[in-house]
Structure 1
């Protein structure tokens, strides 16, 4: 079972990655890229910033500038994953993805089923790195922006062409489908 590591910081820029259960392409299958954008909008409304992102068919990378709040960063990300999961499941039901829904339901651990969990949508934990320098931020931006072109993905020829990414902004200065916040110099 993955171990959730508590983030010991109250604010800052973080490179966050969370993955669909068993790396299944649930975001794509549910047509739910917009659900992630809605979570970004929610974060912005709460005073946080979205400095970069790429939404892949089965995982999300984001540079999020968390402002200090009463909630921990772990809670903010966990709540976001939970509410996105509800919408993904709803859309999978609407699309008649019964086999996939059955898989997601059958895999829920017995103790979690007792707490009314019906489907596993995301891996339990998420990865995070504190971004404490502009160089590290640039490294993470390059990593995430190259993701759609690498390995088996082949989602585009050039990172700037992938629509669910902040790459266009950083390479051309033009905002893409989602408006990212400028990274403030430290």
Structure 2
């Protein structure tokens, strides 16, 4: 999977977004949410910390801390996308979603076909920003947590009501569907309100 900008730094936090091919609602169609949480489990078992997230029907926002010496964020996301792509295709086949599988097959480039790629499940690259301050992290948390309540989505009335995000934890202090680590454990500078 191609990466527009290389991110080699560890011992830092990243805000990442990656998207299903053609903005198809593959996470929703395959009810992939629990599998994404299992991916989070895999990441935390490797000493990474999930600081925030919002899983949308066709993309995911992730705030993740990578300790010193960990795999780079490019590797983490690239390997995750490959693993998820295989699982999504398997689920689509079980659901007999040949219409979607055909779209994913048509998205494969000639060069990718030479590497035995049969389905294009994700956009080639992903958006990733290194987080240098608690203010920047708070900005990204606000962005991801407001995404589900945006007029385009209307997945919940309030950010903390959306099941597949860390908003409940950051707004109410009560852990939600997935246990996250508060970013202030790594950025102890209080946010000015």
- Report if aligned partners of 1:14, 1:130 keep a CA contact under 8 Å in 2: yes
Q: Please tell me whether residue 141 in structure 1 is matched to residue 144 in structure 2.
A: no
Give the corresponding residue for 1:78: 78
Q: 1:3 to 1:87 in 2, by over 3 A?
A: closer
Q: What secondary structure does 1:10 align onto?
A: coil
CA contact (8 A) 2:3 2:74 kept: no
Equivalent residues in 2 for 1:1-186, closer than 5 Å: 4-69=4-69, 71-183=71-183, 184=185, 185-186=187-188
Deviates more, 1:31-40 or 1:163-172: 31-40
Paired residue secondary structure (2:63): strand
How far residue 107 of structure 1 moved from its aligned partner, in angstroms, is 1.4
Q: Secondary structure at the match of 1:14?
A: strand
Q: Is the 8 A contact 1:31 1:91 kept in 2?
A: no
Return 5+ residue gaps in structure 1 as ranges. Answer: none
CA contact (8 A) 2:148 2:159 kept: yes
Provide, for residues 119-152 of structure 1, a one-character-per-residue CA deviation record: whole Å limited to 9, x for no partner. Answer: 0011010001111111111111000000001131
| TM-score w.r.t. length of structure 1 | 0.95
Structure 2: which 5+ residue stretches go unaligned? 189-193
Matched residue of 1:6: which SS?
coil
The CA distance in 2 between the partners of 1:3 and 1:33, in whole Å, is: 24
In structure 1, the residue matched to 2:191 is: none
Q: Aligned Cα RMSD in Å?
A: 1.3
Q: Distance in 2 between matches of 1:70 and 1:20?
A: 26
Q: Report if the CA contact (8 A) 1:149-1:159 is conserved.
A: yes
How many residues are matched? Answer: 185
Q: CA deviation at 1:70?
A: 5.5
